Amino acid sequence: ADVPTEPTAPKRKRIALIGIFGGLISGIGLALLLEVISTGIVRPEDAETALGVPHLASVPLLKRQSDGLGDPLIAMRVVLAQPDGLFSRSIAGLREELDKRRSDPSPRVLLVVPSLPNEGQTVIAANLALALAAAGTRTLIIHGDLRRSSLSQHLGVEQVPGLLYAICFGQDF
Protein backbone atom coordinates (compact mmCIF):
# COMPACT_ATOMS: atom_id res chain seq x y z
CA ALA A 1 0.00 0.00 0.00
CA ASP A 2 1.11 3.51 -0.80
CA VAL A 3 1.59 6.09 1.91
CA PRO A 4 -1.29 8.66 1.66
CA THR A 5 -0.23 12.23 0.83
CA GLU A 6 -3.45 13.81 2.15
CA PRO A 7 -5.55 12.91 5.15
CA THR A 8 -8.75 11.06 4.30
CA ALA A 9 -10.69 12.71 7.12
CA PRO A 10 -11.71 15.34 8.11
CA LYS A 11 -12.37 17.11 4.81
CA ARG A 12 -11.19 20.61 5.74
CA LYS A 13 -12.36 22.39 2.58
CA ARG A 14 -15.85 20.94 2.85
CA ILE A 15 -16.08 21.81 6.54
CA ALA A 16 -14.88 25.38 5.87
CA LEU A 17 -17.41 25.88 3.03
CA ILE A 18 -20.25 24.47 5.12
CA GLY A 19 -19.22 26.72 8.04
CA ILE A 20 -19.06 29.86 5.88
CA PHE A 21 -22.40 29.29 4.17
CA GLY A 22 -24.06 28.11 7.37
CA GLY A 23 -22.85 31.19 9.24
CA LEU A 24 -23.97 33.48 6.41
CA ILE A 25 -27.45 31.95 6.27
CA SER A 26 -27.77 31.96 10.08
CA GLY A 27 -26.67 35.64 10.26
CA ILE A 28 -29.15 36.73 7.59
CA GLY A 29 -31.91 34.75 9.27
CA LEU A 30 -31.16 36.27 12.67
CA ALA A 31 -31.06 39.79 11.20
CA LEU A 32 -34.45 39.26 9.52
CA LEU A 33 -35.92 37.83 12.72
CA LEU A 34 -34.70 40.81 14.76
CA GLU A 35 -36.11 43.21 12.15
CA VAL A 36 -39.52 41.51 12.28
CA ILE A 37 -39.78 41.44 16.08
CA SER A 38 -38.41 44.98 16.58
CA THR A 39 -41.13 47.23 18.01
CA GLY A 40 -39.22 50.49 18.38
CA ILE A 41 -38.68 53.45 16.11
CA VAL A 42 -35.24 53.06 14.60
CA ARG A 43 -35.24 54.97 11.30
CA PRO A 44 -36.78 58.34 10.42
CA GLU A 45 -39.20 56.56 8.10
CA ASP A 46 -40.43 54.51 11.08
CA ALA A 47 -41.24 57.73 12.96
CA GLU A 48 -43.16 59.15 10.02
CA THR A 49 -45.12 55.93 9.56
CA ALA A 50 -45.84 55.32 13.24
CA LEU A 51 -46.64 58.91 14.24
CA GLY A 52 -48.06 60.27 11.00
CA VAL A 53 -45.94 63.43 11.16
CA PRO A 54 -42.92 64.36 9.05
CA HIS A 55 -39.43 63.75 10.40
CA LEU A 56 -37.61 67.05 10.86
CA ALA A 57 -34.21 66.03 12.21
CA SER A 58 -32.35 63.47 14.25
CA VAL A 59 -30.25 64.81 17.10
CA PRO A 60 -27.39 62.66 18.43
CA LEU A 61 -27.01 61.70 22.04
CA LEU A 62 -24.98 64.31 23.88
CA LYS A 63 -22.57 62.54 26.22
CA ARG A 64 -21.79 65.21 28.75
CA GLN A 65 -18.74 63.72 30.44
CA SER A 66 -16.92 62.39 27.36
CA ASP A 67 -17.66 65.55 25.33
CA GLY A 68 -16.34 67.81 28.09
CA LEU A 69 -19.84 69.07 28.86
CA GLY A 70 -20.09 68.16 32.54
CA ASP A 71 -21.25 71.69 33.37
CA PRO A 72 -25.01 72.02 32.64
CA LEU A 73 -24.46 75.66 31.68
CA ILE A 74 -22.23 74.55 28.81
CA ALA A 75 -24.61 71.71 27.84
CA MET A 76 -27.42 74.26 27.42
CA ARG A 77 -25.15 76.26 25.10
CA VAL A 78 -23.44 73.60 23.01
CA VAL A 79 -24.23 75.47 19.77
CA LEU A 80 -22.07 78.31 21.09
CA ALA A 81 -19.41 76.20 22.84
CA GLN A 82 -18.86 73.70 19.99
CA PRO A 83 -20.32 75.23 16.81
CA ASP A 84 -18.66 72.65 14.54
CA GLY A 85 -19.70 69.62 16.58
CA LEU A 86 -22.15 66.96 15.43
CA PHE A 87 -24.79 68.07 17.94
CA SER A 88 -24.54 71.71 16.83
CA ARG A 89 -24.77 70.74 13.16
CA SER A 90 -27.88 68.66 13.94
CA ILE A 91 -29.51 71.60 15.70
CA ALA A 92 -28.60 73.86 12.75
CA GLY A 93 -30.17 71.29 10.40
CA LEU A 94 -33.31 71.28 12.52
CA ARG A 95 -33.45 75.09 12.38
CA GLU A 96 -33.02 75.04 8.60
CA GLU A 97 -35.73 72.41 8.21
CA LEU A 98 -38.10 74.47 10.34
CA ASP A 99 -37.35 77.55 8.23
CA LYS A 100 -37.84 75.60 5.02
CA ARG A 101 -41.26 74.31 6.11
CA ARG A 102 -42.45 77.72 7.27
CA SER A 103 -45.34 78.86 5.09
CA ASP A 104 -46.05 82.34 6.47
CA PRO A 105 -43.99 85.03 8.22
CA SER A 106 -46.23 85.20 11.29
CA PRO A 107 -44.78 84.26 14.68
CA ARG A 108 -44.63 80.55 15.29
CA VAL A 109 -44.77 78.35 18.34
CA LEU A 110 -42.52 75.32 18.61
CA LEU A 111 -43.16 72.65 21.20
CA VAL A 112 -40.33 70.33 22.24
CA VAL A 113 -41.81 67.29 23.97
CA PRO A 114 -40.03 64.10 25.01
CA SER A 115 -41.46 60.63 24.77
CA LEU A 116 -39.60 59.55 27.93
CA PRO A 117 -38.17 61.41 30.94
CA ASN A 118 -34.58 62.66 30.70
CA GLU A 119 -34.44 62.53 26.92
CA GLY A 120 -32.85 65.95 26.70
CA GLN A 121 -35.77 68.13 25.66
CA THR A 122 -34.45 71.03 27.76
CA VAL A 123 -31.00 70.84 26.15
CA ILE A 124 -32.52 70.61 22.66
CA ALA A 125 -34.97 73.47 23.29
CA ALA A 126 -32.27 75.74 24.75
CA ASN A 127 -29.85 75.06 21.91
CA LEU A 128 -32.57 75.43 19.26
CA ALA A 129 -33.55 78.78 20.79
CA LEU A 130 -29.91 79.89 20.67
CA ALA A 131 -29.58 78.75 17.05
CA LEU A 132 -32.75 80.62 16.07
CA ALA A 133 -31.60 83.75 17.91
CA ALA A 134 -28.17 83.55 16.28
CA ALA A 135 -29.90 83.42 12.87
CA GLY A 136 -31.68 86.69 13.67
CA THR A 137 -35.06 85.33 14.73
CA ARG A 138 -36.65 86.93 17.77
CA THR A 139 -36.89 84.07 20.24
CA LEU A 140 -38.69 83.48 23.51
CA ILE A 141 -38.26 80.19 25.32
CA ILE A 142 -40.82 79.11 27.92
CA HIS A 143 -39.93 76.11 30.03
CA GLY A 144 -43.23 74.50 30.92
CA ASP A 145 -41.96 71.58 33.01
CA LEU A 146 -43.67 72.30 36.31
CA ARG A 147 -41.93 69.46 38.16
CA ARG A 148 -38.31 70.07 37.15
CA SER A 149 -37.94 73.68 36.12
CA SER A 150 -34.17 73.79 35.81
CA LEU A 151 -33.75 75.76 32.58
CA SER A 152 -33.37 79.20 34.11
CA GLN A 153 -30.99 77.79 36.73
CA HIS A 154 -28.83 76.12 34.05
CA LEU A 155 -28.84 79.22 31.85
CA GLY A 156 -27.80 81.39 34.78
CA VAL A 157 -30.94 83.54 34.67
CA GLU A 158 -32.34 85.06 37.85
CA GLN A 159 -35.42 83.13 38.93
CA VAL A 160 -38.56 85.22 39.33
CA PRO A 161 -42.17 84.09 39.74
CA GLY A 162 -42.75 81.82 36.78
CA LEU A 163 -45.31 79.86 34.83
CA LEU A 164 -46.82 78.06 37.81
CA TYR A 165 -47.27 81.36 39.62
CA ALA A 166 -49.05 82.83 36.59
CA ILE A 167 -51.30 79.78 36.22
CA CYS A 168 -52.26 79.58 39.90
CA PHE A 169 -52.64 83.25 40.67
CA GLY A 170 -53.35 84.76 37.25
CA GLN A 171 -50.84 87.52 37.89
CA ASP A 172 -49.15 89.73 35.33
CA PHE A 173 -45.50 90.14 36.03
User: Looking at residue 161, what is its pLDDT?
Assistant: 66
User: Looking at residue 173, what is its pLDDT?
Assistant: 45
What is d(CA 102, CA 47) in angstroms, rounded to the nearest whole number?
A: 21
Burial 58-96 (b: 16+ CB within 10 A, else e): ebeebeeeebebeebebbbbbbebbeebebbebbbebbe
> Any residues with CB less than 8 A from the CB of 143 and at least 6 apart, and which?
122, 125, 149, 151, 152, 163
CA angle centred on 70, ends 68 and 74, rounded to 5°: 80
The mean of the pLDDT values for the chain is 80
Residue 113 pLDDT grade (very low, low, confident, very high; cuts 50, 70, 90): confident
User: Looking at residue 102, what is its pLDDT?
Assistant: 81
pLDDT at 121 over 70: yes
The larger pLDDT score, comparing residue 48 to residue 160, is at 48
As a whole number, mean pLDDT of residues 6-13 equals 84
User: Looking at residue 79, what is its pLDDT?
Assistant: 84
As a whole number, mean pLDDT of residues 137-156 equals 74
As a whole number, mean pLDDT of residues 74-84 equals 80
pLDDT at 101 over 80: yes
Looking at mean pLDDT, say which of 25-39, 58-72, 79-93, 157-171 comes out highest.
25-39
Looking at mean pLDDT, say which of 19-33, 49-63, 98-112, 119-133 comes out highest.
19-33
> Any residues with CB less than 8 A from the CB of 55 and at least 6 apart, and which?
44, 45, 47, 48
CA angle centred on 64, ends 62 and 67, rounded to 5°: 85
